[in-house]
Chain A
Amino acid sequence: MSEPTQAGAQREEIVLNMGPHHPSTHGVLRFVVHTDGEIMRKAVPEVGYLHRGLEKLAETQTYAGYMPFTDRVNYLEAMFAEQAYAMAVEALLATEVPPRAEFLRTIACELNRIANHHVTLGCITMDLGAYTPFVYLLREREGINDLIEALCGNRITHNYLRIGGVSYDVDDKWLGQLESYLNHFEPIIDELVALIVGNEILIKRMEDVAVISREDAVAWGLTGPNLRASGQDWDVRRDIPYGAYPQFEFDVPVGPLGRGQAGDCNQRFLVRVEEMRQSCRILRQCLAKLPEGDIKAKVPKMIKAPKGESYASVEGARGEMGCYLVSDGGKNPYRLKWRTGSFSAMSIIEHTSPGLMIADLVALVATLDVIAPECDR
C-alpha cells in the first residue's frame, strides 16, 4: 500500500497503545502501534498478561490430575487440549484407546470446533462493526453447550477426556439430541451465509486486506484455518491421522474460496464457515458408525510414564494444538509444553502489519483468531 502524500503535511511517527483493555483485542493483550497518520509502520504485540504458568504447574501434578488444567489452555477449545494431552500420555504408556472412546472424543471435539467457530465468526463480524450476527451465533452455541453439559456436566471447561478414554458414555437419548441439533443447525449455516458472508460492507473490510502468502504462513508456523486460507492444503486430521478420523470422509477447505485472494482476511473467514459444514458431516458419520464397547482402557490409578518423551498434536480450532511431554519415570510430568495456534499467529502480526491501516489491524487480529489465554498459557 502506498503512503498517502499531502503537500505540506507534517510527517511524524506516533506510538499508540492499543489495549490491554480494548474491545477488539480478544482477551487481555496489547499492541504497540507505530503509526504515521492512519497507516501503521508496525504493530508489536505485547503478550503475557494471561500467563498462568500452566507448563510449570504440570510439573507439580500427577498425570491424571493435570487433565482439568488442560481445559484452561484455551477455554474456547478445551476438548482439543484435553485430547492432545491424553494422546501424549497414551503414546508414552503405549495405551490403546477403545474404538467407542475414540468416537466419543471425535464427537466432543467436532462439537467443540463448531462452538468455537461460532464465537470466532461472531467476534470477527462484531470487531468489524456488525453486532447482530454475534448474538445469533452465541444463541446457536448455547445448543452445543447444553449438549456438552448433558454429556459431561460442564459447559466450558469440560474435563471430559481421561487418559485411555473418556469419562462418561452416551445413551440413545443424547444421540437423538445431537441429531436434532444437527438437523436444526445445518440450515442455520446457510442462513448465516446469507446474513453475513455475502454482506458487501463486511467483504469490503476483509477482501485483499492483510494478505499472508503461503510461504510466509509456512515459515512463521501458522497452522489450521489460517494456513489453509493462505493456500496450503493441510489438516492434521487428514494428513497425520489420529483417533477415529481415518474412518470419516470430509473435505479440507483451502483458500482461495469465493471473493478475495488466498491469504486475505476474507479467506480466513470463509475457511472457518466451510469447516463448520465439514464438522457437521463428521458428526453425522459418527452417529451412523458409533461402535459399541468400552469407553476407557485399563490404566493404573497412579500413572507412571516410562522415561522418554512424546509429542502429540491434534487439529484444534485454531490450528495445530500440540503437547510435548517429557517423563523421567516419576509420577509427575518432568516437562510439558503447549504448542498452540494462537502463539504462532500472534508472532506473525509484527511482520504483516507494516502498511496496514489501524482499522485493518482489527480485521487481521480478528481473522487470525488469536486468543490471548491460548497464546500466554
Chain B
Amino acid sequence: MKIVVCVKRVPDTTTQVKVGPDGTSLDAAGVTFANNPYDEYAVEEALKIKEKTGPGEVIVISVGPAEAAQILRNFLAMGADRAILLKETAPGRDNFGVASALAGEIKGLAPDIVLCGKQAVDDDGAQVGAIVARLLGMPVVNTVTKIELAAGKAVAHREIEGGHEVVEVSLPAAFTAQKGLNEPRFPSLKGIMAAKKKPFEEKPAPAAEPRLTVIKMEPPAKRPAGRILGKGVEAIPALVKALHDEAKVI
C-alpha cells in the first residue's frame, strides 16, 4: 500500500491569538507552532495500515512555509518513510489553493490511500480533504473513527450527529481522521535519529488564483462581564430569576 498523508503546521492550541499589522492575518510573533492534532491521527492510521498490510510506503506532504519542514520531520520520526514540502512564500492560501497544490503532487504518486486530518485547527475549514479527493477522482469519507480494509475496498465509520454512518468505498480512496480513530504513537529516540536520513524533497508550491480572500481579521465580539450570583444552593433563586428575567431562556 502506498499511503499519502497531508499534514499542516498550525499554532499550538494554547496560542493567544493577536491580529497582525496587516489586519488580515495572525501576528506570529511569539507563537509556538505544532503538528495539526488531527493529522497525528491520520499519520498513525497510515503507519498502522502499512504495518498490517505488509510492504508499502507512507509519504507525508505539506503546503507551507520553510518552517513547516519541522513538522514533516516530526512525522518522519513517528515512522513515515519520506516527506515532501511544497513551499509557499505568502500565507493566506484558501482551501482550494491548498487542495489543488496537494492534489497536483499526489496525482504523480498514485497512492492507494490519501489521509488527512478532519480539520486544521488554524482556519478550521474541514474542507481540504474532500477537495483533494474530488480533484483526484477518489471517494472521500470524512471524520472517520474506524477504517477496515478488504480486497480493494474500505469500510469506514464516519461520525455524524448522534451516531455514525458505515460507509463503503472502493480504493483508491481518501479519509479524514477524527479523534478516536487511534492513539498516535510518540516518536522514539531511534525514530528521531532515523528521520534525519529519510528522503526529504522540497519544491515551490504552484501559484493558485484565490477564490476566497480574507479582507479583515478581528478579535471575536467580547462577552459582557459575568456575575457571580452567590455561593452554593442559596444562589439558585437568583439564577432562576436571571435566566427568566434577563436571559429570557426559561
Q: Do A and B come from one complex?
A: no
